[in-house]
Amino acid sequence: MYKGGCLCGAVRYEIHDGISDIVYCHCSLCRKAQGSAFATNGNVDASKFVFSKGEDMLTAYEATPGQKKYFCKQCGSPIISKNESAPDKVRIRLGTIESDISERPGCHIFVGSKANWEEISDDLPGYDEYKSGKI
């Protein structure tokens, strides 16, 4: 089991299974939402993800049609995103997980959109888009 939450502690959650399809996303939307060069995201089965505190402290923003990003209303920490096309999955921001995780990122995505000041210096594959199953 993994535990995590937002910066101020108003939102807490638990993951009762593994994390799959972990990627470093360099798209401009993730960069802006994260306030950094990239976001590290992974998929979790929605039935294995539970809020233990503060679900009512979340606010959502529909970044693209059918996809909502959820943030803490109080501190602004990005927690999860949900996509209407994959209702059985929750996309978690790995930076909010406080437990040690055994899973690792499998690739970089949207590398053509990466910040011009960023250099990718690992050996993971890089793709111009996200396609499930490439990881």
Query: So where are the chain's domains?
Result: 2-114
Is it the case that residue 134 has pLDDT exceeding 90?
no
CATH number listed for the domain at residues 2-114: 2.170.150.70
Is it the case that residue 25 has pLDDT exceeding 70?
yes
Quick one: average pLDDT of 51-73?
Answer: 96
Is it the case that residue 89 has pLDDT exceeding 50?
yes
**For every residue of 18-80, which 3-state class applies, written as one string?**
CCEEEEEECCHHHHHHHCCCCEEEEEEEHHHEEEEECHHHEEEEEEECCEEEEEECCCCCEEE
Which helix (H) or strand (E) segment is 87 a member of? none
Q: What is the pLDDT of residue 130?
A: 76
